[in-house]
């Protein structure tokens, strides 16, 4: 490998061709909920259910990206992004979740992709970022096997429209959240509390991924296909066997339940045993579809879980201010405990070393596949200051620390090929409504005015120089105080 470290300036350089991106998702930014023939999704319904989303907010308008995408692409170009990860809204493309495509919906994505390509930015679409068409939920949702087949049909429609200009595709985003927050704890849409159903949902999301890849690959075998999973480093709170067992269980449900079928073609035996009472018995034939080789794996990383298996007080790790139910099916006795690290505005502990741990673990324990960080970022409750900008030094420190962890993994031989920060713009943060801001760019939700934060300028500098200043010159450290 060519040297990634410029010895004279001690700058940390990423490999040539490393993709520098930012990520978003359709329901969180597009708005235009009733335009262009879009149908209702489970998030439209969930947001209208009292007590599910903070302040009763919703994505009807969001940050109006549907109408402002050209301006948003200009912002991306100013940042120097080489790739942009966005999601395609299934109910915009196929309002009933089945049948013919809504051409007006596809046209929006044709225009978006063409404008990205014209700006020299690689489009990196995700086909499912949680906005299931409501009619499919009415027919049983992800716990039903049929939904996986409907997803593959939808993927095929999108691919037929865009496959000539999109090279890299992500099927499903964070199937853990879609399955367990959606169907076990009910913190996310569709808000069901059905532990057995949530395991079937996880399986059908993976099956949908496999079927979709099969369908798309048949048309363009040279395109790249993968899924994006949200992985956590997991540590036991102490060496007590109950805590060690708790860490095994949470690692199993969070990480291995998705990585093993995708990369090894099997489910982890211990997780099948932990969830045994819920009758989860996936077939080998399905696993063969799920486990077909992929071209890249997306990793969404935010934090580390520290867990205990003994009774006591638990930390707040909920994905909703209204959370009451555990999403950890078969392991709901596990407590999430604070390990004393600084936290983001979401209350998530900042631990860049966990990202390095995950990347090197993937290299050690799984067959080699090109990796991308498809999400990484920090949410805060931010306001514009008197100078009219956001001095988000804590976000810069977070990103700096995590990029250093990525670089370290690359120097150790991990095939990490790109990094997409979450998120380009402040947006609708699911059950937290608009209260948490993850963007590099601040959005005034009343006027839709965009103002790049300090972190946007900082990230543009990183992209411009293809790396970070050397130690001693660094902007901050994500593992330390959370402050630069």
Catalytic annotation, residues: 174, 375
| By the rule CB under 6 A, 374 interacts with ligand IFM | no
E strand or H helix that includes residue 180: none
Number of residues that bind ligand IFM (CB under 6 A): 8
SS3 content of the chain, % helix, strand, coil (to 5): 40, 15, 45
Query: Distance between CA 335 and CA 300 in Å, rounded?
Result: 23
Give the three-state DSSP class for 298.
strand
118-147 binders of ligand IFM (CB under 6 A): none
Rule CB under 6 A: choose which of 357, 375, 382, 408 binds ligand IFM. 375
Judged by beta carbon, residue 28 or residue 198, the one nearer ligand IFM is: 28
| Shortest separation between residue 300's beta carbon and ligand IFM, angstroms | 5
Rule CB under 6 A: choose which of 4, 12, 25, 355 binds ligand IFM. 25
Judged by beta carbon, residue 169 or residue 422, the one nearer ligand IFM is: 422
Query: Distance between CA 146 and CA 136 in Å, rounded?
Result: 9
| By the rule CB under 6 A, 479 interacts with ligand IFM | no
Length of the chain: 484
| By the rule CB under 6 A, 87 interacts with ligand IFM | no
Judged by beta carbon, residue 28 or residue 455, the one nearer ligand IFM is: 28
Give the three-state DSSP class for 38.
coil
Rule CB under 6 A: choose which of 174, 251, 351, 382 binds ligand IFM. 174
Judged by beta carbon, residue 300 or residue 455, the one nearer ligand IFM is: 300
Query: Distance between CA 1 and CA 174 in Å, rounded?
Result: 32
Query: Distance between CA 352 and CA 300 in Å, rounded?
Result: 13
| Shortest separation between residue 23's beta carbon and ligand IFM, angstroms | 8
Query: Distance between CA 288 and CA 326 in Å, rounded?
Result: 31
Q: Check whether the bond before 423 is cis (ω within 30° of 0).
A: yes
Per-position x/- string for 426-445, each x denoting binding to ligand IFM as judged by CB under 6 A, each - no binding? ---x--------x-------
E strand or H helix that includes residue 229: strand 224-236
Judged by beta carbon, residue 72 or residue 408, the one nearer ligand IFM is: 72
Six-digit token string for 151: 């997803």
Query: 420 forms bridges with which residues in the sheet?
Result: 21
| Shortest separation between residue 30's beta carbon and ligand IFM, angstroms | 13
Residues that bind ligand IFM in the complex, under the rule CB under 6 A = 25, 28, 174, 300, 375, 422, 429, 438
């Amino acid at each position: 490998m060519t040297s990634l470290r410029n010895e004279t300036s001690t700058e940390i350089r990423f490999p040539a061709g490393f993709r520098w991106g930012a990520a978003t998702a359709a329901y969180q930014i597009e708005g235009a909920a009733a335009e262009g023939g879009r149908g209702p999704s489970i998030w439209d319904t969930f947001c209208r259910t009292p007590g599910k989303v903070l302040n009763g907010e919703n994505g009807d308008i969001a940050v109006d990206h549907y109408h402002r995408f050209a301006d948003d692409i200009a912002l991306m170009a100013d940042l120097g992004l080489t790739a942009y990860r966005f999601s395609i809204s299934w109910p915009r493309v196929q309002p009933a979740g089945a049948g013919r495509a809504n051409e007006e919906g596809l046209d929006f994505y044709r225009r978006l992709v063409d404008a990205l390509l014209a700006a020299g930015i690689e489009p990196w679409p995700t086909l499912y970022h949680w906005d299931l068409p409501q009619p499919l939920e009415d027919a049983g949702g992800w716990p039903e096997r049929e939904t996986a087949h409907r997803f593959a049909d939808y993927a095929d429609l999108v691919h037929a429209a865009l496959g000539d200009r999109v090279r890299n595709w992500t099927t499903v985003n964070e199937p853990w959240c879609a399955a367990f927050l959606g169907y076990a704890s009910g913190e996310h849409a569709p808000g069901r509390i059905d532990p057995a159903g949530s395991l079937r949902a996880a399986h059908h999301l993976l099956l949908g991924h496999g079927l979709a890849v099969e369908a798309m690959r048949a048309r363009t075998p040279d395109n790249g296909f993968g899924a994006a999973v949200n992985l956590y480093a997991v540590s036991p709170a102490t060496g007590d066997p109950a805590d060690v067992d708790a860490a095994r269980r949470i690692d199993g449900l969070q990480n291995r339940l998705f990585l093993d079928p995708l990369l090894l073609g099997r489910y982890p035996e211990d997780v099948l045993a932990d969830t045994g009472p819920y009758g989860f018995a996936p077939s080998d034939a399905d696993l063969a579809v799920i486990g077909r080789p992929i071209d890249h794996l997306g990793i969404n990383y935010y934090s580390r879980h520290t867990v205990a298996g003994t009774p006591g007080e638990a930390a707040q790790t909920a994905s909703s201010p209204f959370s009451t139910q555990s999403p950890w099916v078969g392991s709901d006795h596990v407590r999430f405990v604070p390990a004393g690290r600084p936290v983001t505005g979401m209350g998530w502990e900042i631990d860049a070393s966990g990202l390095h741990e995950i990347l090197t673990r993937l290299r050690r324990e799984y067959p080699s596949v090109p990796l991308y960080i498809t999400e990484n970022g920090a949410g805060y409750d931010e306001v514009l200051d008197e100078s009219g900008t956001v001095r988000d030094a804590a976000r810069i420190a977070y990103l700096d620390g995590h990029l250093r962890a990525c670089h370290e993994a690359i120097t150790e031989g991990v095939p990490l090929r790109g990094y997409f920060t979450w998120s380009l713009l402040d947006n609708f943060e699911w059950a937290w409504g608009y209260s948490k801001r993850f963007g590099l760019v601040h959005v005034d939700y009343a006027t839709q005015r965009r103002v790049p934060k300090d972190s946007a300028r900082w990230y543009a500098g990183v992209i411009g120089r293809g790396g970070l200043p050397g130690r001693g010159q660094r902007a901050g450290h994500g593992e330390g105080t959370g402050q630069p």
